[in-house]
Structure formats: C-alpha cells, structure tokens
Amino acid sequence: MKRRPVCLVCLFLMLCLYVTDLVGISMINGNPLPVSVQKYISEHPKLTVSGEVQNCQAAEYSLSVYLKQVCLTVGSEQIPIENIKVYLNKEEQIQIGMFLRVCGKLEEIPGSRNPGEFDSKQYYACQKIYYQMKDGKVCDKSTGYSYFGQFLQEIRQKAGTILDEAAGSYAGIFQAMILGERGNLDAETKMQYQMAGIMHILAISGLHISFAGMGFFRLLKKAGAGNGVAGAASAFLIYAYGIMTGGSVSAMRAVGMFLVLVGAGIAGRSYDLLSAMALSAIVLLLDAPAYLYSLSFLLSFGAVIGIGALTPEICSLLNLEKKTAKSLAGSVIVWLITLPIALRAYGEVSLAGVILNLLVLPTSGIVLASGIFALPVGIFVIEIAKRVVFPGKCVLFFYEKLCEVVGWIPHSTWITGSPQLWQCVVYYVMLGVAFAGLKWGKKAAGEKESKADKSGLANEEKGDDGERIRSGMRRRKAMGNVVAGMFVILAVSFFGYHSRNGLTITCLDIGQGDCCVLKMPGGENFLIDGGSSNKKNTAVCQILPYLKNQGIATLDGIFVSHTDQDHVSGIEELLELCAQNLATVRVKNLILPDWNTTGEEYEKLKMLAEQTGILVQTAREGNLLKTKEAQIEILAPENGADGSDTNEDCMVMEVHFGKFRGLFTGDIGAETEKKLLDSMEDVDFLKVAHHGSKYSTCQGFLDVVSPEIAVISCSAKNTYGHPSADTIKRLEDCGAQVEYTMKNGAITVQTDGEGIWLDRFID
C-alpha cells in the first residue's frame, strides 16, 4: 500500500462515508433536500419542475425521461432538487439535451418494504434521483438539444433495432451485453442466468471496454497514428460508449480504468491495476456517495480485486502454471471475494457458477464480437447481419442448455440468508488468515531451501540429509496449504450456520393482499397465503426475496386460506416457477381448504403442484399439524363446506407454541366468526380478517379472542375502504396494538413461547 497512495485514499474515503452514514448524516441514503422542501412537495398534489433531458427510455406504455439539474417552481422561486425521473406519454417527442418544463404529481422514490426486496430508493440514489413524477405533462420544451447526446441515443436505438431483427429471440441478451439495455430481457432468462451464476456477463464491463478500446487503439496504430493520437481517440470512443450504454457503475469503472491505462501509455508511465481501480472508485463515490452500498459497485470492484490482484499472487503461491488451473483458481477466488456481497443482496449464491464460468467467460467474447460486427453490416444488409450474429446465437443456445442442466441439479444454488455486517467482517478476516497461511508455507519452504543451498545439503549427492531437508520443505508448504484450506472452508461454512430461537411470524407488505411466513422453532417453515390484487410478480419481487433473505431453502407447506387472487396470485406464480425449475426454494406440501365444490383457481393450484411433485393435501376443522416444537390447529372450514362462498368458507388456523397463540382468519366475515366462538380462546396475535373490512372482526369475536397484537395487511390506496375505521376502533377498544403493513412494511412478531417481540421493517 505504501506504493499505492491512491488505494489508501480510496479506503479512507469509504470509511468516512460509512461513518457519516452511521452518525445520521444523509450523504448516502437520505434525501438531501431541506425538510421544508420535502414537506412542501408532499403537501402539494401537482407541481411544476424544469430540467435538462439526460436520458430517455421507451417502455410499453410510457416514456421514462431522466432530467438533470432540476428546479422545482414554488411561486416565483426556483428550488434545485437534483435529478428526477418523469413518466410521460409514449408519443411525446423528446431529445437528449432539451430543457423541459413538466407538471404532475411529484413523489419520493419508494424504498423496499420487505426484507430482501429490491431497494429502488438506494438504486436511484446512485444516480442522484430522489423523486419521480408520474403522469407528467410537458408544459414547455426548448427547440435546442445536445447534438452529441442525441447522436449517441440514435446510435443506441438503431443498434437495438438491428439486433432485434438479426438475433431474433436472443436479441434481448445481445442488447444487454452490447448496449446495456436490459428492458427487453425476459424474466426467465434473468432467473436462469442468476441461478447459474453467470448474470455478470450481461453487464457492460472490462471485457467490453478492453475489446472495443484496445481494438480501436490497435487499428489506429496500424493506420499509422502515434500513441498520443491513438490513445486520445480510443479514450474518447470508450467514454462515449460508456455514456451511450447508460453509464452503469461497471461500465464507468471499466471506462475510468481504461482512461488511466491510456494516460499511462501516453505519459510513458507504468499502469497499476489496483491504483486505476481505486481512482475510478474515488471518482464514482465523490459523484454519488450512495454507491458505497450499491451491489453493482461492490461486485464490480470486488471482482477486479479478485482477478487482478489476488489471482496472480495465489497462483504463484500454489505454483499453478497450467492455464486451466489458473482459470479455475481465478473463478474460485472471485467467487470467494464476492460471496458476502452476493449473499447480502440475494441471500443465495450459485455453486455451479464456479465451474460454469470456466466455460462461459472464454466463449462470451464470441457473443460480443458477433454482435458488434453485425451492427455495421446490419445497416446495409440485415440478412448478412443474421449470418454474422449466428455464432453468438449458438453460444447463447449453449448457455441456455447449461442453465437448464443447472436447474435440474439439486442444491446447485446455496440459500444461506443475508448475513449481518459483522459476519462479513469475520469472513474476510478468516480469508486473510488463509492467505497468510499460504504465504507462511511458501516462505517457510523457501527459507529451508535457502539454508539447504548455502550448506550444500540440497544436492542429491548428500544423500539422507538432502532428502530430509527437502521433505521438511514439502511438509511446511503442505501445512501452510492445509491451514489455508481449513480457514477457507470454515469461512464459507460460517454463512451456513443458523440458530433459531422460538417462533417468528412475518406479515409481508404485499399491497392489497395477504402473505404470512411462519418460521417454526423446530426449523420448519410455512407460508400462509400469498397474493395481491394491485401488485404483479409478487412471488419474484416479494415472497422469494424474503424467503432467501431469511435463509429459507424449503417451505414445508403452503396454506391457502381460499382462492381469491389477493391471496393466491403469488402462490400460483411460485408454483409455476417451481414447474420450470426457476425457483430455488423447494416446496413440499400445498394445503388447500377441504371444499366439496372446487373452482377453476382451486384446480389450477392443484394441477401446478402435482406437475412439480408437490404433495397436495386438504384441511378442515379438527385437523392438527404437529411440528417438532409447536402445532397448527385447523378451526375452519367446517366439515362439508361447499366453498361456494370463498370468504366465509376460508381456512382458519391457530398456531400454538408454549403459551403463545396466533390466529389466522383469512377473509372470514361475522357469520363464520360467530360459528367459531365456542372453539375460540384468548390469543396473543391476530391476523385481522379481510384486510380490516368493517364486515369482519366483529365485537363479539374480539370480546373472546382479545388479541394483544393485531396486524392488518392492505394497500394504502385501495377502492375497498380497507381498513375500516369501525374495525380499527373495535380493535383499539379491546386493547389490541394495531399494526399496518401499509404504514410500516413487513411486520414481524417473535416469541419464545412466553414473551412477544415486535419489529417493523419501516419505523
């Protein structure tokens, strides 16, 4: 580090940013606007802003426009509010560099509302975007625009069109790899690549930059240009390419390092990879401190450290000389370095990725080259472009089959849950000890060899003494390697250890719907309902991320209270993913209410479960499911229920653990509540029926169950009037502590069978 002061500066900057975040200074996650401005924005439904168009992306139904240097109009005053994202009519004609005046509803970018859920607020904070405007209307726009910016935008659009026509069904992957455009990637491909551990090839990175930049540099050199001209021209090209592809963190990291490489060449100085990386990180962090917590930032720089710094050193310590051995070592090292980062983000990591990357990385250049060369050809003759891109399509077909094989392999993905920060620190300390063990073994063997050489005993002519010294050298080196291996295994295994104290109930914020996860004290896991009427892709966006975040690799059962969409849409989606081998979480049982008459949705759930090999069972009043340390009692539906009224014939269940009682009532109304009174008793936890409807949770029912904690799951904006003020009053009057997912996100209740602890995801 003494020879790399830039690296020390980078580490110091990261430490300073982390400390400022700990003490509450809003440089990373906080809204940088004054509280008075934030209040003004929240209190006014319609506002006017003005700014310069930085980027625009066409979606299916709207046009997303990113404005920079934005000012909020308050009377005659213009208040700077950084950058914003505006959703406009798709037909609006917008060009890069235009100045727009737009009116609409301005709202703060929402953050995640459940553990494991994607954090849009943090993602956009890296772009210094803290607000978005939906249903925006352009009040005024300038005639002038940025010719250079618009030129890059048109190149990107034209290139996307060519790839669409030339690459067919693989166009989305080509566009992601070459243009940084992931909007056309289908969800199945994303999930397959993530499960296989090869998602990184879809990001603009050093492979793209070095391929394009160095290729152009060599081309100019062959044309007779000097180092200065060739370097400056290639640097400009790569900078423009980084901007054109959206300026992702991995792209700008690679661009920054390439600029340092070119600058070093022009100045006649040596290039140091770690110093170049550190300088790129400093520039990015000073521009947007939120990158400190960005997954893309940490993974990108972590991979560079693994490939550029540690792999050559460790290969030298292990005396690895063959190319295959070095490649395998590099893949393992990058996997180890980025493991805590991936687990913090996803709660899971691909085990197959270590091997697959040995096949994918060497061949990804074929995809990249065929796509890039097809672009100029496609301008003139699209049929020839199809032939040019064909080798890349063959490679992508190969990747597709690899991903399918991985999907069939049990436990190819390791779900550990999201580790705490202290666990990550301990992990890296243990890796450091492992690295020190390797160096000690090498050094000890080297010192022994040096002594042998000086004394002349290393020569074979010296007989037993020489052999004894050589044997001692081998033992010391082997000992160092064994110590290193043990600490690596211990460090990785550290993430697989989980202790479970008591029963945990988590009510996820799934919008206008219901979803509860039970983590039983004996290690079993259950899902009670999972659906929403106002959110799509709830399995992918909320349910699965939460399960993986908590280290839940297996659901012992999914209870379906009834078949309304706001209770089963996510379950249906989850079962479909299981049928396609795209859900890394395993489901053992699907428990449906025992109805005489079943509808279309009921039969669909059964069919999906049976296709996947999930055992389908039915439950009714009197059934009892015993786990290792707790039990779940089914209170409804009654025997002979026909299921014609799905709400009143809901499955109702009560969880028993020690002295704790938790009641889950689905969407039952007052009629079923009255039927249950004779079997009811005082409960500690109540999942309030029907999202807080005024026709449920009647006074007589509450007089009997008298819950200590009552949780209402619903959307803040819904057309049903949930939760009803009457229901809330009845709950409060009976002494219940009422909690709302719409206010505080996921609500978690934990008990050891005696006491109860409550946690709100959003305070």
pLDDT per residue as tens digits for the range 194-204: 999 999 888 88
Same domain, 388 and 307: no
Question: Considering only CA atoms, which of 56, 49, 22 is closest in space to residue 33?
Answer: 49
The SS3 assignment for 59 reads coil
Same domain as 458, residue 327: no
**What gap in Å lies between CA 215 and CA 408, rounded to an integer?**
40
Same structural domain, 406 and 487: no
550 and 661 housed in the same domain:
yes
- Residue where a domain stops, chosen among 476, 494, 512: 494
Domain holding 639, by residue range, is 503-760
Looking at the structure, do residues 628 and 640 belong to the same domain, yes or no?
A: yes
Bridge partners, 711 (sequence order): 687, 739
Rg, C-alpha atoms of the chain? 30
| Structural domain includes residue 680 | yes
Residue 593 pLDDT grade (very low, low, confident, very high; cuts 50, 70, 90):
very high
Q: Which residues fall within 8 angstroms of residue 55, CB to CB, at 6 or more apart? A: 65, 66, 96, 153, 246
Stretch 582-608: mean pLDDT:
94
Q: Residues 168, 115: one domain? A: no
Q: Is residue 515 part of a domain?
A: yes
- Are 93 and 172 members of one domain? no
Q: Looking at residue 1, what is its pLDDT?
A: 53
Question: Up-side HSE of residue 712: CA atoms within 13 Å toward CB?
Answer: 26
641 in the same domain as 624 = yes
492: Cβ contacts below 8 Å, ≥ 6 apart = 336, 339
pLDDT of amino acid 75: 81
Q: Among 351, 376, 397, identify where a domain stops.
A: 351
CATH number at residue 108: 2.40.50
- pLDDT tens track for 35-81: 888 888 888 888 999 999 999 988 878 899 999 999 999 888 899 98
Averaged pLDDT, 447-470: 54
Are residues 588 and 677 both part of a single domain?
yes
**Residue 234 to residue 228: CA distance in whole angstroms:** 10
What integer pLDDT is reported at residue 402 of this predicted model?
Answer: 94
Q: Is the pLDDT of residue 161 over 70?
A: yes
Domain membership of residue 569 (yes or no) is yes
Q: Could you report the per-residue pLDDT of 313-340, keeping only the tens digit for each?
A: 999 888 888 888 988 999 999 999 999 9
Are 479 and 590 within one domain? no
pTM for the predicted model, two decimal places? 0.92
Spatial contact of 250 and 204, defined as CB atoms under 8 Å apart: yes
pLDDT of 496 above 90: no
Q: What angle do CA 341, 346, 350 make, to 5 degrees?
A: 85
Looking at the fold, whether 594 and 702 belong to one and the same domain comes out as: yes
In a domain, 736, yes or no: yes
Instruction: Please indicate, yes or no, if residue 573 is contained in any of the structural domains.
Output: yes
The tokens for 184 are: 């056309």
Does residue 27 fall inside a structural domain?
no
* 610 and 555 both lie in a single domain: yes
Q: Give me the CATH number covering residue 696.
A: 3.60.15.10
Among 418, 553, 436, smallest CA distance to 488 is for 436
Domain count, the chain: 5
> Considering 438, 471, 494, which residue would you say is the last residue of a domain?
494
Residue 458 predicted with pLDDT over 60: no
The pLDDT tens digits for 164-196 are 999 999 999 999 999 988 888 888 899 999 999
- Rounded to 5 degrees, what are φ and ψ at 319? 60, 40
d(CA 304, CA 603): 51
pLDDT tens per residue across span 672-686:
999 999 888 999 999
State the chain's mean pLDDT as an integer. 91
E strand segments, 630-725 = 631-636, 652-657, 660-664, 685-687, 709-712
278 assigned to some structural domain: no
**CB proximity list for 678: less than 8 A, separation 6 or greater:** none
Q: What percent of the chain has pLDDT over 90?
A: 69
Residue 203 lies in a domain: no
Contact 253, 308 (CB under 8 A): no
DSSP E strand stretches across 451-563: 503-507, 513-519, 525-532, 554-555, 557-559
